[in-house]
Chain A
């Protein structure tokens, strides 16, 4: 099982660009891109809370557990 990041789906639903989200939550575009592609080991609660606040969603909308 692995955790898949569905951030790109939420961004599309909210019609928001990655660049704007990165600026609003205070992380670099590069880090946000890594998060979107799932190339990170983890996400801090502070970052997750900031994304949820900006995109008006729940952590479950951004993360999904899938079976390999």
Chain B
């Protein structure tokens, strides 16, 4: 690889390390602010689902909703931490190395987990939000949008690319043992 291209990749990756670091700090703060100043959970839940809560949410329902959001945030932060480590690896010039290949594989796993969690979260939150409603007004919403499909496909692609890179790395290592 030409030295100039490698330097460009390193420079871009160094910048992206900062961007991802900033997102890792701003994302939890943003979610916290949305919870603090975004109004009562009943308000935004009513807007998000076809049939929302008709009365004040109970402590269990709130705990489930906050728990699901916290879990999504934790998985998102895990993915971002992996992405940050990947850019750091690129910034150090390790582009086709074992570490970066494994990180791409892991990033794909994080993204698959996040997409599945997002799809499931919608159903769980809708159920928790309407659990206290009178009989006949409880609902279980299931949503699977084209964005979810694309996200799942992109995550799967990333996972497979990481896997292929790990295998390729092993082939290179094996070839190195041939003289």
**Do A and B truly interact?**
yes
- A residues sitting closer than 8 Å to B (CB atoms) are 27, 31-32, 34-35, 40-44, 47
Using CB atoms, name the residue of chain B closest to A43: B179
A40 vs B176: C-alpha distance in the bound complex, in angstroms? Answer: 9
Find chain B residues with CB under 8 A from A32 CB: 179
- B residues sitting closer than 8 Å to A (CB atoms) are 174, 177-179
A27 vs B174: C-alpha distance in the bound complex, in angstroms? Answer: 17
- Give the Cβ gap from A26 to chain B, nearest Cβ, in Å: 11
What are 7 sample pairs from A and B whose C-beta atoms fall under 8 A apart? A32-B179, A40-B177, A41-B174, A41-B177, A41-B178, A42-B178, A42-B179
A41 vs B172: C-alpha distance in the bound complex, in angstroms? Answer: 13
Other than the given A40-B178, A42-B177, 7 more pairs (CB < 8 A) read A27-B179, A31-B179, A41-B178, A42-B178, A42-B179, A43-B178, A47-B179
Find chain B residues with CB under 8 A from A31 CB: 179
- Give the Cβ gap from A63 to chain B, nearest Cβ, in Å: 13
Find chain B residues with CB under 8 A from A43 CB: 178-179
- Give the Cβ gap from B9 to chain A, nearest Cβ, in Å: 28
A26 vs B178: C-alpha distance in the bound complex, in angstroms? Answer: 14
A-B pairs, top 7 by smallest CB distance, nearest first, are A41-B177, A31-B179, A42-B178, A35-B179, A40-B179, A47-B179, A40-B177
A47 vs B178: C-alpha distance in the bound complex, in angstroms? Answer: 10
Using CB atoms, name the residue of chain A closest to B174: A41
Of A34, A35, A42, most buried by chain B (CB within 10 Å of CB) is A42
A43 vs B177: C-alpha distance in the bound complex, in angstroms? Answer: 9
A34 vs B176: C-alpha distance in the bound complex, in angstroms? Answer: 11
- Give the Cβ gap from B115 to chain A, nearest Cβ, in Å: 40
A40 vs B179: C-alpha distance in the bound complex, in angstroms? Answer: 7
